Amino acid sequence: MIAKLDEIFKTFQNEIKNIEKMPDLMQLKSRYLGKTGELSGILKGLKDATPEERQSIGAKSNQFKRQMEDMVVDRIQEIELAQINESLEAKRIDISLRDSLLEKGMDKAGLHPVSTIQREIEDIFLNMGFEILDGPHIEDEYHNFEALNIPEDHPARDMQDTFWFEREGENRHLLRTHTSSIQVHGMKKHKPPFKFVGPGKVFRCERTDASHEMCFHQLEGMMVGENISVANLIYFMKTLLSEIFKKEVEVRLRPGFFPFVEPGFELDIRCLICGGDGCSVCKQSGWVELLPCGMVHPNVLKHGEVDTTKYNGFAFGLGLDRLVMMKYGIDDIRHLHGGDLRFVSQFANY
């Protein structure tokens, strides 16, 4: 029986070496170590053996059993490692791929037109001494609404349909509906006088059409100092538009209501898609809302810990996507974010 045990162990050792796949290994394990396996067969035969034989065979078979179990565990690890290596090899990034892309003429990458215009505007404002600030996409009620003079239950909250995060209680979180929240961060960060712009994505739960997206881009601007006037605001807005369009564009200023500015204005641009005749972008009005602005409301300055007896300021919120549409004559905002490379590559300056 001892010889038989040795033989079983030897053939097990030989077989397990050649096993490459997990199901085969499990089969081998049950063939040798299972309830009806080879080792159990030996142990069952012990009933006819002498007590001494039983003891020595029992001890040896237990020792083999343990060794075989250890070998199975080791082999499992080896097979798993081989599988991981195999899949890593299959998914390996081929850094020489560029050559094949080159052959297909796909070697170029460029900026999205919204990014290009954002950078152009940042440069214009940097040259005028403004700083560039960033703010989080996920905001709380305080920064998006309350500190901007839009308390809870204020009807102005309905002007911007909001994506809320599911959580009850005070100061709930949301996806910022406008870059005006950057005003609040900026005021907390600086002592007046200061001036900054803050570009970024904003989110609104609204139905899309030729001029409305759910996720679009704004660029906020804020200037706070002594004796800032509407004339200063108009100067900066005019400089911005003439630098962007590199030509005279017709604009109109009309009263606009935003709780965080007083007085507030809507700066509209004559629709460059239809030349003012009326189209789906300007909703047949001939004008496109582009640049709401106004003098910062004292309540907002107070939230920013600005001394309102000494300082005042202006703010504006430029819609970047619509600006791109006007600049390049794009008749539907959805082209901009549809992910069609054939469309966006027309605007990339490689």
Name the site residues for ligand FA5 (rule: CB under 6 A).
Answer: 160, 178, 180, 204, 206, 212-213, 216, 218, 258, 261, 264, 289-290, 292-294, 315-317, 319, 321-322, 333
In this structure, what token pair is assigned to residue 8?
A: 């079983």
Q: Which residue is nearest to ligand FA5 (CB)?
A: 319
From the CB of 140, what's the least distance to ligand FA5, in Å?
Answer: 17
| Closest of 3, 107, 125 to residue 53, by C-alpha | 3
In this complex, which beta carbon is closest to ligand FA5, that of residue 61 or of residue 218? 218
Would you say 43 or 249 has its CB closer to ligand FA5? 249
- Of the two residues 28 and 313, which places its CB atom closer to ligand FA5 in the complex? 313
Q: How far is the CB of 196 from ligand FA5 (least distance, A)?
A: 13
Q: How far is the CB of 287 from ligand FA5 (least distance, A)?
A: 11
Q: How far is the CB of 265 from ligand FA5 (least distance, A)?
A: 8
Among residues 75 and 178, whose Cβ is nearest to ligand FA5? 178
Which backbone phi and psi does 110 adopt, to 5 degrees?
A: -145, 175
Picking from 319, 304, 345, 347, the residue whose alpha carbon sits closest to that of residue 105 is: 345
d(CA 145, CA 150): 5
Provide Rg for the chain, Cα atoms.
36
The DSSP secondary-structure symbol of 179 reads: T
- Taking the complex as a whole, the smallest distance from the CB of residue 345 to ligand FA5 amounts, in Å, to 22
Give the separation between CA 173 and CA 141, rounded to whole angstroms: 6
Rounded Cα distance between 322 and 328, Å, is 10
**Residue among 225, 249, 226 nearest 237 (CA):** 249
List the structure tokens of 220.
């906020």
Q: Which is nearer to ligand FA5, 39 or 282 (CB)?
A: 282
Q: Please, which residues bridge with residue 131 across strands?
A: 196
Rounded least distance, CB 101 to ligand FA5, Å: 33
Q: Which is nearer to ligand FA5, 28 or 325 (CB)?
A: 325
Tokens encoding 11: 């053939």
